[in-house]
Amino acid sequence: MEHGLIFDIQRFSIHDGPGIRTTVFLKGCPLRCRWCQNPESWSIRTQLMPSAQGCIGCRRCEESCPGGAISVGEQGPILDRGRCQECYRCVELCPSGCLKTVGREVTVEEVLAELLKDESFYRSSGGGITLSGGEPMMQAAFSLALLRACRSRGLHTAVETCAFASPKVMEAFLELTDYLIMDLKLSDSQKHRRYTGQGNESILKNLAAAAAVRHRNNFLIRVPLIPGCTDDPENLRGIASLLNGVGFDGTVELIPYHRLGAGKYPRLGLEYTLEDLESPTEEALKRARQLLKASGMRLANEAGVLPEK
């Protein structure tokens, strides 16, 4: 029985593939994109994520912590992660719920039972299930077992991936995935490493492998539009060139940068380095779309494949 670590199951999703879907978010990611909106997905371990919201100052967390890792200040619980023994006794005793864990262990059978609750919606809308994260390929054995289980029940499967994985793992996912959503951030490997922590060589190899077997209606490339980083014409033309070079016949969707995940970083003991960055303007988004279209790309909202976010 395969076990996995997930941090959310989102029902009635309409942006993670065709139709009405349920999206399973898995823990663990090999990249550290500076703009990531789900930093709680990076670690492949369960994490404590405190919040000041709702704290009543009862100090039960502080008193119960065997490692002395928690103190309560005016802004709520303060966590010393170096002293945390990960017993999570504080979570059990917190009456207000401002101390929570991110990540829970599940079996394939448990997740499948949850997914099947909305089977009628998948059937009526042409939807299904989507694995996201984090990076589903970081938990390849569990993810593949879940995809097989979904296939056995006739459910449409989709995977959202950064494609930073071995060719063997990528091949296994392609065989079990009806709809592929792949992120493509930066065409230059050095810049990719600077902004994500990893080069893009393995990603581009997997892109070529996917393009060889994927066609117009089952392959979506998502490009995050990050001002001052991914939005410059050189990068967008480079991405279009890479896609044209592998014979890509799918759809491209631009995802404008937003700061909705910024507040999670301090709760996880992380620094958010894009604090002063603003979302791209409508004019900047329009220019990016025109550039990609001029480079031969088929854009998502124009094709009616997915609504623009």
CA distance 291 to 309: 19
Residues 83 and 182 placed together within one structural domain of the fold: no
Residues 184 and 61 placed together within one structural domain of the fold: no
> Do 7 and 41 contact (CB within 8 A), yes or no?
yes
Amino acid at 48: L
In a domain, 92, yes or no: yes
Residues 80 and 195 placed together within one structural domain of the fold: no
User: Which phi-psi region, left, alpha or beta, contains residue 233 (left: φ > 0; alpha: ψ -120 to 50)?
Assistant: alpha
Q: Find the domain containing 70 and state its range.
A: 48-101
Local confidence pLDDT in tens for the 309 residues of the chain: 789 999 999 999 999 999 999 999 999 999 999 999 999 999 999 999 998 788 999 999 999 999 999 999 888 899 999 999 999 999 999 999 999 999 999 999 999 999 999 999 999 999 999 999 999 999 999 999 999 999 999 999 999 999 999 999 999 999 999 999 999 999 999 999 999 999 999 999 999 999 999 877 899 999 999 999 999 999 999 999 999 999 999 999 999 999 989 999 999 999 999 989 999 999 999 999 999 999 999 998 754 444 433
Tell me the CATH number at 286.
3.20.20.70
SS3 for 94-148 is: CCCCCEEEECEEEEHHHHHHHHHHHHHHHHHHCCEEEEECCCHHHHHHHHHHHHH
Residues 127 and 179 placed together within one structural domain of the fold: yes
Residues 37 and 145 placed together within one structural domain of the fold: yes
Q: Which of 82, 101, 120 is the last residue of a domain?
A: 101
In a domain, 285, yes or no: yes
Residues 73 and 109 placed together within one structural domain of the fold: no
Residues 185 and 291 placed together within one structural domain of the fold: yes
Residues 30 and 84 placed together within one structural domain of the fold: no
Tell me the CATH number at 59.
3.30.70.20
- This prediction has a pTM of 0.92
Residues 208 and 185 placed together within one structural domain of the fold: yes
In a domain, 297, yes or no: yes
Number of domains within the chain: 2
**Which contacts (CB < 8 Å, 24+ apart) does range 281-287 have?**
284/225, 284/227, 284/231, 285/225, 285/254, 285/256
Residues 216 and 275 placed together within one structural domain of the fold: yes
Residues 220 and 297 placed together within one structural domain of the fold: yes
**Contacts of 100 by beta carbon, 8 Å cutoff, 6+ apart:** 48, 49, 50, 51, 91
Residues 179 and 256 placed together within one structural domain of the fold: yes
